[in-house]
Amino acid sequence: MSEGKMRVAIIGAGPSGVDAALACRERGWEVDVYERAPRAAAAIRDWGHVRMFTPWEMNRSARMDEALAGAGVAIPDGGAPPTGAEFAAQLIDPLLDTPALDGAVHLGCEVLEIARAGLSKEQEIATDARAARHFRLILRQDGTERAAVADAVIDATGTEFAAGPLGDGGVAAPGERSLAARIRRRIPDLPAESESFAGRTTLVAGTGHSAQTAIAGLADVVAASPGTRVVWVSRSADPDWGSPVDDPLPDRAALAARAGEVASGAVGGIEFLGGLSVHGLALAGAGIDVQLDGTPGPRTVRVDEVVSLTGSRADASLYRQLQVHECYATGAPIKLSAQLLGDAAGDCLSQPEHGPELLRNPEPGFFIIGAKSYGRAPSYLMRTGFGQAEGVVALLARDLAAVGA
């Protein structure tokens, strides 16, 4: 393998995967980006109706700007932060059409598993002999499976939005599995979806920014449609709304302020129940009885709709056959995770730069970048992924040079 022939597989065409692909192409490497959805930035399109907190200039990398400018495409900038849909349509889609990424991205192509050719997980533990073997990726496209090879793999598959279960302790509550079809796990698109909630009772679980966004939208439905009720359940009696003092992101500050107001009872139809978790769900006629328990004692609420926004989860099954050392607390790669846990807890804007060495795994040539690299740590911003893409590709280049390729 020579540097010119280095072949990198990138899994996921979200912002970090796309940026990493541009970095590889800049070095003249072969790159294949596998994206399971029919369109890139699929995870972001899932909450496409929600406006981001970070402005355009924080949501693009210098490399993205160069690729767009080189293709004569306008660089999105200025004004309000984009919605998820605007981000995908104005930045990621045009990037895929630039010569810089020509032919690199395979849409509708899911990576099912990754292995090291000729070796199983327990063989050649982090040795040079292991590094000398290529990776095998099992792909599924249009219902057909095939294998592809790569010298290095970058896993940029992000986290599954709102995949966190509703039940106490982060496991599905009794009844949650059988009622899965009745549980909404996306941020409602309000006011577009108002009819589903107007005049009805909705349980919302979670207190992160997604739940806050849902509550802000539902507060407007409550105001517009008398008889609408919302029961807002939080494990914590006094949640952290995720906006520091003098928050430099005004939209985030406004959302957190609104959440605090609503939680303190400012909106008549919304009851905030702090210190309670979901212990069970059961059908009750056309409604659902939700059993809650916690510090204030048990209680059951009957609702028509359940909105679960209890956090996202990463899928580790992809690399089960590789030698990846995960953190037992966050599920993220251990070195970065240990660093993040050791950093003073802080806002995503005040995160220190973490060098790419922290993204190394025992598995040579395999890197997890982007939101997935932070596991359950909430402090990730997409600009972090741009720095990681740059650092990991530079590290791969250094490794190649070191083996005299």
The footprint of ligand FAD (CB under 6 A) covers 11-17, 34-37, 41-44, 47, 50, 52-54, 110-111, 156-158, 161, 210, 318, 370-371, 380-382, 385
Question: CB of residue 302 vs ligand FAD: minimum separation in angstroms?
Answer: 29
Shortest approach of ligand FAD to residue 173 CB, angstroms? Answer: 23
* Residue 284: CB atoms within 10 Å: 12
Q: Taking the complex as a whole, how short is the minimal distance between the CB of residue 315 and ligand FAD, in angstroms?
A: 6
Q: Which is nearer to ligand FAD, 56 or 272 (CB)?
A: 56
The answer to whether the beta carbons of residues 349 and 381 sit under 8 Å apart is yes
Q: Which is nearer to ligand FAD, 70 or 250 (CB)?
A: 250
Nearest to ligand FAD of 158, 294 (CB atom): 158
Residue labelled with tokens 């057909």:
144
Nearer CB in complex with ligand FAD: 218/276: 218
**Which two three-digit tokens encode residue 218?**
């539902």
CB of 322 to ligand FAD, least distance (A): 14
In angstroms, the CA 89 to CA 59 distance is 13
Instruction: For ligand FAD, give the closer residue by CB, 63 or 279.
Output: 63
Question: What string of DSSP letters covers 70-102?
Answer: HTTPPPP-SSSPPBHHHHIIIIIHHHHTSGGGT
Residue whose CB is less far from ligand FAD, 40 or 396: 40
Q: How many other C-beta atoms are found inside a 10 Å radius of the C-beta of residue 291?
A: 19
Return the number of the residue (294 or 391) whose C-beta is nearest ligand FAD.
Answer: 391
How far apart, in whole angstroms, are the C-alpha atoms of residue 48 and residue 50?
6
**CB of residue 40 to ligand FAD, shortest distance in Å:** 6
Instruction: Find the shortest distance in angstroms from Cβ 160 to ligand FAD.
Output: 8
Spell 248-270 as b/e; 16+ CB within 10 A means b.
ebebbbebbebbeebbeeebebb
Least distance between ligand FAD and beta carbon 341 (Å) = 20
Distance in angstroms (rounded) separating the CA atoms of residues 391 and 384? 11
- Alpha helices of 301-378 — where are they, by DSSP H? 334-342
The tokens for 183 are: 């549980």
Residue type, 140: R
